[in-house]
Amino acid sequence: MQILAFNGSPRKKGNTSSLIAAILEGARSKGAVTTEVRLHDIDMKGCMGCLSCRTDIGKCKQKDDLSPYLEKIKSATGVVIGCPIYMYRISGQMKLLVDRMYSLYANLPQGGYKSMVPAGKTYALVVSQGADNADLYQKSIRYLAGMTGSGLGMKEVGRIVHVDSHQQPAQRNKNLMDFAFTLGTKMLEI
């Protein structure tokens, strides 16, 4: 049982990182082996637009540190996506991953897409933002969940939209950290 987390925040001790850590701890408490991919820290390139994934279906031709993790999505039990809001949208690091995930979608002859990720996986989402209004970035959040989770056929176990507060960062909000831990335990319930 493998849970794979992709972290789109560059801050090792930031909100997204703390919440992902709690989710992964919850997953490990149920016997999962967990891996966190810190997108900011790996040598990762954007999609090169070669479209080879339209014919060599499910494979991304770009070879870099992300490549093995893109492949690993297909065999993982569940995937966690965590990302801060930067300039009203997902962070640049996360957008590079989303674009590379195009390789996990195959075109259907009648139009639309089919996921190349085997069915039966779980998915959890963490977003952290500065603005108080948790509804403000729903469009970006729906987009992120759609591209990286539901669009690939994964079952969402839950999501966290955290509002950053210097008085109480995520790691000091016990209820939220407990909730994140519980989400992690659900990642193994397929």
Which residues contact ligand FMN (rule: CB under 6 A)? 9, 11, 14-16, 84-88, 128-131, 164
* Residue 161 dihedral angles phi and psi, to the nearest 5°: -115, 105
Residues contacting 29, CB < 8 A, separation 6+ = 181, 184, 185
Residue nearest to ligand FMN (CB): 14
CB count, 10 Å around CB of 75?
A: 11
Identify which of residues 20 and 47 has a Cβ nearer to ligand FMN in the complex.
Answer: 20
Identify which of residues 75 and 168 has a Cβ nearer to ligand FMN in the complex.
Answer: 168
Shortest Å, Cβ 107 to ligand FMN: 33
Identify which of residues 23 and 188 has a Cβ nearer to ligand FMN in the complex.
Answer: 23
Three-class secondary structure of residue 146 per DSSP: helix
Q: How far apart are CA 167 and CA 148, in angstroms?
A: 31
Q: How far apart are CA 123 and CA 4, in angstroms?
A: 10
Shortest Å, Cβ 15 to ligand FMN: 4
Identify which of residues 13 and 61 has a Cβ nearer to ligand FMN in the complex.
Answer: 13
Shortest Å, Cβ 20 to ligand FMN: 9
Shortest Å, Cβ 129 to ligand FMN: 4
The one-letter amino acid at 21: A
